[in-house]
């Protein structure tokens, strides 16, 4: 490859900028020209593409969001859209594309690869819902945001001897809830991967209060429903529980990336460039047990991420 492009797509995540910086600087180090695509696949279809140099990615490693901006693009899901995108890249002499995003973004990259553009995917999403990588870029920062919020909630909840329901993001994946729940000592973690019974949850909360607990945190992953509904159901069973509800929402997608996310993004960005130089294509880059790996995008998209049951059971045991 001689010229590559980079885009960020789908929901943004903290660390996308660090990945963009790594791609640009690594490519230039290896004598490759780099182009940025503004606003994801939509920007590609609009030919919104510009040349990037070493300085264009200065002072961004610490910033949340993405300087390339992101969008969800329906037109790119059609064959015509994909063909148009491939043609625009070819006209500019761009033969490689690095896509930072989640599942949907990976599918777009696979389509472009079938049309002759060499592609690499980087896992950029707070949800940690991508297989063949232990972590996605942004997940660690999102978990930190949730834990920080729960620390604050605990202060006021224990003063008033109240319980608190905290709704967190994750789409269909409970990892944010699980990791933040264990780290913050939540009593209950409701996630899509594990069935639950609200009668048991309510009974346990009441017993805990009777046995001297001064507050109680219930984390609800958005994949199981709304925090408000869980709080209403608990109150219906025992009016004395009366939890307060906090929906953390898009705050979880903002803020400066943690060093973990910056380093993950930097390693993966550089790795994707090196893979393209080797002539590889249609791969999703990830890190498994600390090692960088590249897996066929189709395989990654088709495989459901492993769920860490051992961690869930530990959270249960420690939350009595």
Cβ of residue 176: shortest distance to ligand F6P, in angstroms? 8
> Whole-angstrom Cα distance, residue 265 to residue 80?
32
> What burial class does residue 60 get, using C-beta atoms within 10 Å of its C-beta: 0-12 exposed, 13-18 middle, 19+ buried?
middle
Cβ proximity to ligand F6P: between 185 and 254 the closer is 254
Pairing of strands 244-247, 96-101: unpaired
Cβ proximity to ligand F6P: between 72 and 244 the closer is 72
| Residue 251 is labelled as binding a ligand | yes
Residues of this chain that interact with ligand F6P (CB under 6 A) are 11, 102, 125-127, 169-171, 222, 253
Other residues' Cβ atoms within 10 Å of the Cβ of residue 211: 8
Strand order in the sheet with 49-52: 49-52, 33-37, 3-8, 96-101, 118-123, 283-288, 291-296
Cβ of residue 12: shortest distance to ligand F6P, in angstroms? 8
Cβ of residue 202: shortest distance to ligand F6P, in angstroms? 27
Contact in structure between 27 and 273 (CB atoms under 8 Å): yes
Cβ of residue 29: shortest distance to ligand F6P, in angstroms? 31
| Residue 24 is labelled as binding a ligand | yes
| Residue 21 is labelled as binding a ligand | yes
Within the chain, what is the greatest distance between any pair of CA atoms?
71
Catalytic residues: 127
Pairing of strands 244-247, 163-168: parallel
| Residue 185 is labelled as binding a ligand | yes
**Binding residue numbers for Mg(2+):** 103
**Binding residue numbers:** 11, 21-25, 72-73, 102-105, 125-127, 154, 162, 169-171, 185-187, 213-215, 222, 244, 250-253
**Binding residue numbers for substrate:** 125-127, 162, 169-171, 222, 244, 250-253
């Amino acid at each position: 490859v001689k010229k590559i492009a980079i885009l960020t797509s789908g929901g943004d995540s903290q660390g996308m900028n660090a990945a963009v910086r790594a791609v640009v600087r690594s490519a230039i180090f290896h004598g490759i020209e780099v182009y940025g695509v503004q606003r994801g696949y939509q920007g590609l279809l609009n030919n919104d593409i510009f040349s990037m140099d070493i300085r264009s990615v200065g002072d961004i490693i610490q910033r949340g969001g993405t300087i390339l901006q992101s969008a969800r693009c329906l037109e790119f899901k059609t064959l015509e859209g994909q063909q148009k995108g491939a043609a625009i890249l070819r006209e500019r002499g761009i033969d490689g594309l690095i896509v930072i995003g989640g599942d949907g973004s990976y599918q777009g990259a696979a389509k472009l690869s079938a049309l002759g553009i060499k592609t690499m995917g980087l896992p950029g999403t707070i949800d940690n819902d991508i297989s063949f990588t232990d972590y996605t870029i942004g997940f660690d920062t999102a978990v930190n945001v949730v834990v920080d919020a729960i620390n604050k909630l605990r202060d006021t909840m224990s003063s008033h001897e109240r319980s608190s329901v905290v709704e967190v993001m994750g789409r269909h994946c409970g990892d944010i809830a699980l990791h933040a729940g264990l780290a913050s000592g939540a009593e209950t973690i409701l996630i899509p991967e594990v069935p639950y019974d609200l009668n048991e949850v309510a009974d346990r909360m009441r017993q805990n209060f009777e046995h001297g607990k001064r507050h109680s945190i219930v984390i609800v992953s958005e994949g199981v429903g709304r925090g408000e509904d869980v709080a209403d159901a608990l109150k219906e069973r025992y009016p004395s529980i009366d939890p307060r509800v906090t929906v953390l929402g898009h705050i979880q997608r903002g803020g400066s990336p943690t060093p973990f996310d910056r380093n993950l993004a930097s390693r993966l960005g550089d790795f994707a460039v090196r893979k393209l130089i080797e002539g590889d294509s249609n791969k999703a880059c990830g890190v498994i047990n600390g090692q960088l790996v590249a897996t066929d995008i189709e395989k990654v998209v088709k495989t459901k991420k492993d769920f860490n049951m051992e961690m869930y059971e530990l959270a249960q045991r420690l939350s009595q």
